[in-house]
Structure 1
Amino acid sequence: MERKRNNQKVSWTRGKCLGKGSFGTATLATNESNVAVFAVKSVDLATCLPSQLESLENEIRILRSLSSPYVVEYLGDDVTRNESPTTSYRNLHMEYMAGGTVADEAIVKSRLADVEEKILRWHTRCLVSALKYVHSEGIVHCDVKGKNVLVGHDLTSVKLADFGSAMVEIKKESSGDRCRSVIWPRGSPLWMAPEVIRGEYQGQESDVWSLGCTIIEMVTGKPAWKDQGFNSLNRIANSEELPEFPAQLSELGKDFVEKCLRRDQNQRW
C-alpha cells in the first residue's frame, strides 16, 4: 500500500488490530522503507455507514490542522484498494501511542499506587494543555473520556485523540462571540455535560465537564456515573446531583473536579 507524505509516496503494510469502535478499526502499520511503526484508523468503503465515513473524514480534517505535543500527531491519509479484491479502505495515519489509554487497568493501578498523585496530576495537566490548545483553535472535542486519551511507552507522554465527534465553533460576524449551534448531542453519554444531554448546545465548557468525569475515571477505572440507561442520563441532565468523588482523591483534586462539574457551564473554571 502507498500513501503520499511531503509529496513522496510511502509504502506501508497493515499489521495487527489495535481495537474496533463505532467509527472504524485501528491497526498497527509499518513503513516499508524505514520500518517506522504508526497507527491507522480505517473504514471499509464498501460496508461502512455514511456516519462512519463522515466521522473519519471529520477527524482527518481536524487533525490535519492541529500541531501540539498534547494531541496525537496526524501523519497522513489515503485510500487503499489493493488489500483484497473486494474491499477498499479510507485510512487516517497517526502516531502510535504504545502505552494504551489512561483508562486502562494497569495505568489506573499505577496512579492508585502513587499516593502523592504525581502521575494523576501530570496526566491531568497534559489533558488540560490539550484542551487549552484545541479550544484556542476554535475546536470543541465533544468526546473527552479516558479511552480517548492515549499514553506513550512510559507514563509521561499523554495525548488527546479521537476527533471524530469534534466540531469547529462558529463565530458571530457582528460581535465575535461564540455561537453554539443546537445540534444532536455528540460524544459518549456518561461523559456528556447536562446542557449537551438536554440538547441545548455543546461548547468548550462542555469539554470541561467531560474533563471532570475523566479525572474521576482515571482514579477509579470506571465512568464517573453508573450506567443505568435513561435514569443516568436524566440524573445528569435534570438533577442537581454530582457523581461521587473518589475517597482517595486529595482535597486539591476534589476542588479541581468540583470546578469542572458545576452545572452552570459559565461557572466551570
Structure 2
Amino acid sequence: MRGPHQERTRVGRDGRFELVEHVGSGGFGHVWRARDSVLAREVALKFLALDRLVGRRPNPERLAIVRDRFARESLIAAKVDSAYVARIYDCDIDGDEPFLVMEYVDGRPLSDYLGSRPLPLARTCRWSRQIAQGLAAAHDRSVVHRDIKPVNVLVREADSDVRIVDFGLSRFVDATETHSEAGTPLYMSPERCRAEPGDERSDLYSLGCVMYEMVTGWPPFGDEHAEAFALARAHEEQLPMRPGQAAGVPAPLDDLIMALLAKEPRQRPDNARVVVRAIAEVERLLGDTGPESSPEEGPADGAHRAGTGFADRLSAAELNVRHLTTQHGRDHHLVITARMELADLTGRSGDTRGAADLYDRIGRDCDDWYGPGNSLALDAFEGMARWVVARGTTGSQRTS
C-alpha cells in the first residue's frame, strides 16, 4: 500500500498526476491531494489497499479480476451527480495499485465536529438534509453507499456544505470474496450486521445513527472501543434511548431519527427524498414559527422559534466565524466575538441547549488561552448561564 513517504512524485498514465500532499490513511488505503496536469485542477487520489482485499501474495489472475471489478464499480459510482457527493472523475493504476481520481474537498470530516456534546439543531438539520439529498441522488442511480459514517462526510471550509465520499468502495470490498466485509459497526444497519447485502434503506439506517450522534453527542449504541460483535447484537436487538429525552430535540426530529433506526428495513422511511422533506419540515418549524426571543424570555411556548430566514442567518454566522478564524487565528478577539454572536443567534432560534453549549466551549477556550478569570471567559460563562436559565424556563413551560 502506498505510504505517506512515497519517493515518486507523479503517478498515472504519462505521470498525469503530481502528488502534492498525503492527506490521510484508512481501511481502504491512502489519500493524496494531487494536481491533474492535463485539466489543471486539484484532485484527490485514493489508493486502494490491495493487500487487504486480495492477500499479500495474490496471483496475476486474481489481481486482474480485482482490477476489472474496481473499474466497473468506479464507473457505476461516477454516475452519481449531486452537490453533496464528492465526484469521481476517473480510475487509474500505478504499478499494482489501483486508485480513484476524485473531487478534492478542502474541509474536515464530520467526525471532527462530534464529541460528547450535541451539535446546534440548525447545523444538525442542515447537514443531515444535505447528506440525505446526496443519498437520494445516489439511490436514483441504484448506487448504495453501504458505509455512511461521520468520517465519510466532509464539511467544506468554503461554504460549510457537506460532501459524501467513498461511494462504490464498500460494494467493491464486499465483492472481493476476501471475507473483509465493508462497513463500520457503530453505524451499520441490522441487515448489514447479518452480512446481508442491504439496500437503500440500509444507508438510511446509517444516516439515522449519524443524526442520533449529532443531536445527543453519542452514537445510538456503544462507542469506538466497543466490540464489533456486541455492537452488531445491539443494532439487531436493542432500542436506543429516544434522542428526544435530551431536552431541546423537537418531536418531529425525534420521531424521524427513531423511524430511520427501525430494525426492519420496511419500517423505515420509503426513500431518502422522504427524509429530505421531513428534515425540511423540521427546519421550517425552527425557522418560521414566530418572533425571536431573548434569553430571559425563552421561546414563548416551549417550541423552537425564530424569524423567517433564521437558518440562513445561522449559516452566515457560522461562515463568518470560519473566515475570521482563517484570517486571524482561533484566539483572536474578533473570532471570540463572532462565536458569541453565533451562540446568541442559536439561542434566539430556540435552541437554548445549543446556545449554552457554544458559550461553554468559548469559556473553556478562553480559560485555556488567557487563563482562568479572564474577562472574555467570564463573559462566555455568563452567556452560558443565561441560556441555561432560559432552557430551564422552557422545560418548565413544557411540563406545566
Query: 1:37 & 1:18 partners in 2: Cα distance?
Result: 13
Q: Does residue 64 in structure 1 map to residue 62 in structure 2?
A: no
Matches within 5 A, 1:28-47: 28-32=33-37, 36-43=41-48
Q: What residue number does 2:256 align with?
A: 256
1:243 Cα deviation (Å)?
A: 5.1
Q: Structure 2 vs 1, CA of residues 111 and 263 (structure 1 numbering), >3 Å: closer, same or farther?
A: closer
Q: Over residues 179-200 of structure 1, what are the superposed CA-to-partner deviations in whole Å (9 max), with x where a residue is unaligned? A: xxxx996411221112222345
1:253 Cα deviation (Å)?
A: 2.0
1:118 Cα deviation (Å)?
A: 2.0
Q: Which letter maps to 2:94?
A: T
Partner of 2:104, secondary structure, is coil
Query: 1:109 & 1:225 partners in 2: Cα distance?
Result: 14
Q: What residue number does 1:147 align with?
A: 151
Q: Structure 2 vs 1, CA of residues 162 and 220 (structure 1 numbering), >3 Å: closer, same or farther?
A: farther
Partner of residue 99 from structure 2, selected from 88, 91, 100: 91
Query: 2:196 & 2:92 partners in 1: Cα distance?
Result: 36
1:22 Cα deviation (Å)?
A: 1.3
Partner of residue 211 from structure 2, selected from 209, 215, 229: 215
- Asked if the contact 1:101/1:146 (under 8 Å) is kept, the reply is yes
Q: Over residues 99-153 of structure 1, what are the superposed CA-to-partner deviations in whole Å (9 max), with x where a residue is unaligned? A: 1112213x779973x4xx2221111111111111111111221111111112222
Relative to structure 2, which stretch is displaced further, 183-192 or 24-33? 183-192
Q: Which letter maps to 1:210?
A: S
Instruction: Name which one, 1 or 2, has greater alpha-carbon Rg.
Output: 2
1:238 Cα deviation (Å)?
A: 2.5
Q: What residue number does 1:126 align with?
A: 130
Query: 1:264 & 1:21 partners in 2: Cα distance?
Result: 30
Q: What residue number does 1:179 align with?
A: none
Q: Does residue 78 in structure 1 map to residue 83 in structure 2?
A: no
Q: Which letter maps to 1:218?
A: M
- Asked if the contact 1:108/1:220 (under 8 Å) is kept, the reply is no
Partner of 1:78, secondary structure, is strand
Q: Which letter maps to 1:202?
A: G
Query: 1:214 & 1:80 partners in 2: Cα distance?
Result: 35
Q: Structure 2 vs 1, CA of residues 203 and 48 (structure 1 numbering), >3 Å: closer, same or farther?
A: closer
- Asked if the contact 1:215/1:257 (under 8 Å) is kept, the reply is yes
Q: Structure 2 vs 1, CA of residues 257 and 78 (structure 1 numbering), >3 Å: closer, same or farther?
A: same
Matches within 5 A, 1:101-250: 101-105=109-113, 112=119, 114=120, 117-163=121-167, 164-166=169-171, 186-219=182-215, 222-227=218-223, 228-229=226-227, 230-239=229-238, 241-242=239-240, 245=243, 247=246, 248-250=248-250
- Asked if the contact 2:12/2:92 (under 8 Å) is kept, the reply is yes
- Asked if the contact 1:2/1:12 (under 8 Å) is kept, the reply is yes
Q: TM-score, normalised by structure 1?
A: 0.75
Matches within 5 A, 1:9-20: 11-20=16-25
1:93 Cα deviation (Å)?
A: 0.9
Query: 2:221 & 2:82 partners in 1: Cα distance?
Result: 30
Query: 1:204 & 1:26 partners in 2: Cα distance?
Result: 27
Structure 1 residue runs without a partner (length 5+): 82-87, 168-182
1:3 Cα deviation (Å)?
A: 4.8
Q: What residue number does 1:176 align with?
A: none
- Asked if the contact 2:53/2:180 (under 8 Å) is kept, the reply is no
Q: Structure 2 vs 1, CA of residues 108 and 35 (structure 1 numbering), >3 Å: closer, same or farther?
A: farther
Structure 2 residue runs without a partner (length 5+): 1-9, 57-62, 173-178, 270-400
Q: Which letter maps to 1:98?
A: D
Relative to structure 2, which stretch is displaced further, 186-195 or 53-62? 53-62
Of all paired residues, the percent bearing the same amino acid is: 27
Query: 2:142 & 2:154 partners in 1: Cα distance?
Result: 22
- Asked if the contact 1:29/1:40 (under 8 Å) is kept, the reply is yes
Q: Structure 2 vs 1, CA of residues 218 and 27 (structure 1 numbering), >3 Å: closer, same or farther?
A: farther
Query: 1:99 & 1:110 partners in 2: Cα distance?
Result: 21
More strand, by proportion: 1
1:20 Cα deviation (Å)?
A: 0.8
Q: Structure 2 vs 1, CA of residues 254 and 232 (structure 1 numbering), >3 Å: closer, same or farther?
A: same
Q: TM-score, normalised by structure 2?
A: 0.52
Query: 2:196 & 2:16 partners in 1: Cα distance?
Result: 46
Relative to structure 2, which stretch is displaced further, 248-257 or 67-76? 248-257
1:49 Cα deviation (Å)?
A: 3.6
